[in-house]
Amino acid sequence: MASLGVNIDHIANVRQARRALEPDPVTLALLAELGGADGITVHLREDRRHIQERDVELLRATVRSRLNLEMAATPEMEAIALRIRPDMVTLVPEQRQEVTTEGGLDVVSQLGSLQALVSRLQASAIPVSLFVDPDGHQLEACQASGARWVELHTGAYAEAAWAEQPRQLARLEEGSFVARSLGLRVNAGHGLTYQNVEPIAAIEGMEELNIGHTIVARALAVGLQSAVREMRALIQNPRRDPLFSGSTP
C-alpha cells in the first residue's frame, strides 16, 4: 500500500506571486498532515521561485511526518541539505526556464559526481532518492550511484492520450520491477491527479506517491485537509481498472 507525500510548492507559488506573507506553506503543511499526509515534499529551486530556504528551515522544525527535500545536485544545495537534515533528499534535474521539472535525471552521464554526492549525504544519515524515467539503463546507474531509492517520473503517463496510457503504465510497472530487482526502493510522482492516480498506486512495490498541484487545486474547492484525505483514500484503495490490466514481468 503506497503512502502519500504532499508537495506544497504550489502554495508557495501563490505567495510569491505577490511577494506576500500568505498563504504560508509551513502552516498549510500542518493541515496536510492533519488530513493524512504521510510526508511533506518541497523543491528548493536554485532560483527560489517558490519555496524559500526559510520555509525549509521552519518545515524541518515543525513537520511531524517526513520531510522530503527535492533539490538539484549542486554544492549550494548539498550544503543546505547537510545543515537542515531532511528525512530524505530527492535529486532532480533543474532548468531555469522550465515551469516544472520536465524529465528524469540523467544519472548515466553524471554517475561519477552523483556517486560522490550520494555518498556524502548518506554518510550523514540522509537517505537519497533519484528522480528518473523508468529506463533500465538509468535504473542500473541509480544502483551504481549508491542511492537507496528511486522516484519514477510519471509525466509521460500523466500526459498521455487515453489510448496511450496503458503502454506508459506498463513502462512504469516494468521500471518498478527492474528497480526492485536491483535492490532499490520505489516512489513515483509528477502530473498525477485524482483521475489517473489509481493505476500507479496499484503497481506492485510502489511505496510512496509525491503529489502536489492537483491536491492544491482541489483544496481551493474543499479545503486542504479534505483534498489530502480524498487523495490518500484513492492511493490506499485503488481500483484495478481492466483497461489497465498489464502485469508486472
Which pLDDT tens digits describe the chain residue by residue (249 residues)? Answer: 899 999 999 999 999 999 999 999 999 999 999 999 999 999 999 999 999 999 999 999 999 999 999 999 999 999 999 999 999 999 999 875 555 556 899 999 999 999 999 999 999 999 999 999 999 999 999 999 999 999 999 999 999 999 999 999 999 999 999 999 999 999 999 999 999 999 999 999 999 999 999 999 999 999 999 999 999 999 999 987 655 554 444
Greatest alpha-carbon span in the chain: 50
Half-sphere exposure of 67 (CA within 13 A, CB side): 23
Q: Give the list of residues 6+ apart from residue 183 with CB closer than 8 angstroms, or none.
A: 143
**130: three-class secondary structure by DSSP:** strand
Q: What is the per-residue pLDDT for 97?
A: 56
Tell which residue, 205, 207, 200, 210, has the closest CA to residue 172.
200
Q: What is the per-residue pLDDT for 101?
A: 55
Q: What is the per-residue pLDDT for 239?
A: 81
Q: Are 154 and 174 in contact (CB under 8 A)?
A: no
**164: three-class secondary structure by DSSP:** helix
- Residue 195, Cβ neighbours under 10 Å: how many? 9
Query: Candidates 3.40.50.300, 2.40.50.100, 3.20.20.70, 3.50.50.60; correct CATH number of 3-237?
Result: 3.20.20.70
How many Å apart are CA 168 and CA 133, to the nearest integer? 11
Q: What is the per-residue pLDDT for 94?
A: 85
Residues acting as catalytic residues? 43, 70, 190
